[in-house]
Structures are given as C-alpha cells and as structure tokens.
Amino acid sequence: EVRLVESGGGVVQPGGSLRLSCAASGFTFDDYVMAWLRQAPGKELEWVSAISWNGENKYYPRSMRGRFIISRDNNKNTAFLQMNNLRPEDTAVYYCAARLGITIEEDMGLRKTWKFWGQGTQVAVSS
C-alpha cells in the first residue's frame, strides 16, 4: 500500500518558520520526484516546490523562491519543506505528492500530474 504521510503543520505567527515532513512507504521512494502543493480555502491547488529523485535539482515557482526550501532524505524515505518568514497568505493545507520524472512547470499545479498524494497537513499563519 502506497502511503504519504505529512506532518509538521500547525499555527505560527507571521515571520515564523515551520518544517513539514512527508514520510513515504509502499513504493521505491528514490525513483520518484517529490513535491509539495498547497490549497487555501476557496482557492485552487498551488504548486510550492519539487525535488528530483536524487535531490540534486530543486524546482520552485517564481513566487515561492527564497522563503521555501525543499529537501529529501532517501535513506529515510522522507521529503521535507522548510518554510521561513511565513505570511498569512501561506495559510493552507499542504500536501506532498510524487510522480516519476519531472514535468513542465505549467503542469506542476495540476492534481492529475501527481501519481501519489498524502492527506495533507494544515498550516495557519496568524497573529
């Protein structure tokens, strides 16, 4: 059974940091591109970042560069998202997802692009 389990979400003040984790099982983790996406209430799914199978290549949409850092530990079958200088507009449910191979940026935010999904972890940025 394939599982992606996110953790690390919570409530944080503006300017604060959180580190999300995604524990994977049931598939060959280091064959897959891993990604983080998010969805805020009433808004569309938004791609946050992605990382190649070996961690050497990291991808971010222009709007996410500089504050978010994706990483992975293939020995632990876990992906991470370090989020710094958080803003109220970062409030959303954050999902990790996986697919074989990278794709074009325009498709990164589409649900159908990703083969496996986690259940999500809530992040709330509020004073």
pLDDT at 74 over 90: yes
Q: Average pLDDT in the 64-84 region?
A: 95
Say what the pLDDT of residue 105 is: 87
Give the separation between CA 121 and CA 105, rounded to whole angstroms: 23
DSSP tag of 80: E
CA-to-CA distance for 100 and 68, rounded, in angstroms? 23
Tens of pLDDT, residues 18-43: 999 999 999 999 999 999 999 999 99
pLDDT digits (tens, 9 = 90+) for 99-121: 998 888 889 999 999 999 999 99
User: Closest Cα partner for 36 from 115, 108, 123, 102?
Assistant: 108
What is the amino acid identity at position 115? K
